[in-house]
Structure 1
């Protein structure tokens, strides 16, 4: 069972860059549900989207799988298919180890291969569904287009890329409004001003967010025939792009 997130509850002499270490693993479900508005709605919709786009005799990828919550949701959506394999990847060994325990707790006919590796090195092939659930924002901006291109090249026709991200509004005034609403969301979920401030300082160097327009332009440039935002809450959005 997940512990309560108190990582940033006490004043720190210096705030280090955020990383997905053992300390974060222990509190991650509590952290993400109290920090990301709409997270549960996105997970609840993943099986429906996978059911719509997943194809027989293909691979499904969860890139940046953390504890496997999206992997579990994806697996529910492809249990009716023949010869469908899932590959879940994360570069955090503690995350992968815990994901294995979570996935092992639920019976399924769909095999899942867990890989501890840099998703920039993951080979994408014969993929009908690829999920980046709050993952791309942690990839260096200069590497994002190449990564999405590699995913596109490894996808089947009619395959879908599902991306959920925090984003930055192009209008600075509206961006400030969305940030304030997000902070209110965190306060309502029990985070103190100190926790909000220290978490923001820890994550600002490792998470560089794009605008929604940047995501759309990237989809178009790479060649996705159809793409849209299917969910948004404050400055968080989920998108799909179909090859």
Structure 2
């Protein structure tokens, strides 16, 4: 496994050489990383049937691994226009290369907090929203809800905080063991932790649910959970 280039506290970025090792590192760091991709692809088919045309978004599309799978996951998904959004030029380049040849995929270099969303049917944010401060996250949720057609859905997979210091400490310990068992060294684990200080801004399950409710979603809840990582579905 190739390590990510990590330097000082709070220095985490997705630019530079990160795209070349991003997927491999995520698989060694995030429980259910690939299982979550499987779930999202199956979930998307529940919201893309019937009369079209349909539009789907992946916010924070990174190297385009999930975007490619979404765009090719059966006839309804292939008939959907998929828009990947990422603000890092290196990630956009990698995603465009990975999705080359797919005429139903568009990868946009832009900020998910400021882009103009088209009317759409399905939106995915996979390990993306926990990098936004809660106040900004609230506004993005509202924009997504407004852009979705009635009956459309938003799926978010994020790191969340546990309800209480003792449980947070226990879950963090188990997550570090997961990383160690996956092949990361204690130094790599600590360096990654320090690099994310002030950059990663997770909130609790209850806080996320409150923000989704405030944004205007009709129904919402958890459909995937392992340690500190949780997948939420919100339906307009």
TM-score, length-scaled by structure 1: 0.91
Find out whether 1:235 has 2:233 as its counterpart: no
Distance 1:215 1:95 in 2: 27
Distance 1:144 1:18 in 2: 19
Find out whether 1:75 has 2:71 as its counterpart: yes
8 Å contact kept, 1:46–1:77: no
Distance 1:155 1:225 in 2: 12
Once the 2 structures are TM-superposed, how far is the Cα of residue 82 of structure 1 from its aligned partner? Answer: 8.2
After superposition, residues 1-243 of structure 1 pair within 5 angstroms as 4-5=2-3, 7-8=5-6, 14-15=8-9, 17-55=11-49, 56-77=52-73, 79-80=75-76, 84-104=80-100, 108=102, 111-243=104-236
8 Å contact kept, 1:47–1:76: no
Deviations along 1:143-169, one digit per CA (max 9) or x if unpaired, are 110110001001101100000000001
For structure 1, the residue ranges without an aligned partner over 5 or more in a row are: none
Once the 2 structures are TM-superposed, how far is the Cα of residue 22 of structure 1 from its aligned partner? Answer: 2.2
The alignment of Structure 1 onto Structure 2 pairs a total of residues equal to: 234
Once the 2 structures are TM-superposed, how far is the Cα of residue 204 of structure 1 from its aligned partner? Answer: 1.6
Distance 2:196 2:24 in 1: 17
For structure 2, the residue ranges without an aligned partner over 5 or more in a row are: none
SS of aligned partner of 1:52: coil
Is the alpha carbon distance of 1:19 and 1:80 closer, same or farther for their aligned partners in structure 2, counting shifts above 3 Å? same
Once the 2 structures are TM-superposed, how far is the Cα of residue 123 of structure 1 from its aligned partner? Answer: 1.4
8 Å contact kept, 1:17–1:205: no
